[in-house]
Amino acid sequence: MLSVTPLRSDDRPAWEELFSGYNAFYARTWPAANYDRAWQEFARDERIHALGARLDGRLVGIAHFLVHASTTSPDVCYLQDLFTAPNARGKGVARALIRAVEEWAREQGCSRLYWHTQQHNHTARRLYDQVADFRDFIVYAMPL
């Protein structure tokens, strides 16, 4: 059975494995302190938030998200990270996570949920094209 809930303190090892997998997908490595910081923020649940998807009790997917202001609308919700364990893919885990973040954001009064992906991430885009609109923006970043 698939369920989506907030992360629990005993999820830390499984969460870290999933978040490491997500970072490896983007060829990024972060020091342990970054994982500690993110975990503490999720526990506070004020600035950044997390949900976990469980299949038969095992944590197999994560979503990290945050709310920010908008110049033209009520606050909007940004879905920063989404990852499903490789051996649990194709079972609706990411779809359920997006739906759960959508529901959470509605409850907060957000006017929109949005996220980025890479143009060539066809697997992710097959899902995204079913649940959201492609708005044709591209992203520039300036490391500071």
Ligand X SMILES: CC(C)(COP(=O)(O)OP(=O)(O)OC[C@H]1O[C@@H](n2cnc3c(N)ncnc32)[C@H](O)[C@@H]1OP(=O)(O)O)[C@@H](O)C(=O)NCCC(=O)NCCS
Q: Across-strand partners of 2?
A: 55
Does position 7 interact with ligand X (CB under 6 A)? The reply is: no
Does position 91 interact with ligand X (CB under 6 A)? The reply is: yes
Pick 71 or 119: Cβ nearer ligand X: 119
Among 14, 66, 127, 132, binds ligand X (CB under 6 A): 127
Q: Kindly indicate which of the ranges 31-39, 62-70, 123-131, 135-143 contains the residues binding ligand X, using the contact rule CB under 6 A.
A: 123-131
Do 20 and 64 touch, CB atoms closer than 8 A?
no
Rounded least distance, CB 135 to ligand X, Å: 15
Nearest to 78 by CA among 87, 92, 88, 67: 67
Among 20, 66, 92, 114, binds ligand X (CB under 6 A): 92
Element of type H or E holding 6: strand 2-6
> Which two structure tokens, joined as six digits, stand for 126?
């097959």
Among 19, 59, 84, 110, binds ligand X (CB under 6 A): 84
Pick 53 or 67: Cβ nearer ligand X: 53
Do 51 and 7 touch, CB atoms closer than 8 A?
yes
Does position 90 interact with ligand X (CB under 6 A)? The reply is: yes
**Backbone φ/ψ region at 5: left (φ over 0), alpha (ψ -120 to 50), beta:** beta
Does position 39 interact with ligand X (CB under 6 A)? The reply is: no
Does position 125 interact with ligand X (CB under 6 A)? The reply is: no
Please report where in the chains the tokens 């060539």 appear, as a residue. Answer: 120
Q: Rounded CA gap, 52 and 11, in Å?
A: 9
Residue ranges binding ligand X (CB under 6 A): 22, 25, 61, 82-84, 89-95, 117, 121, 123-124, 126-127
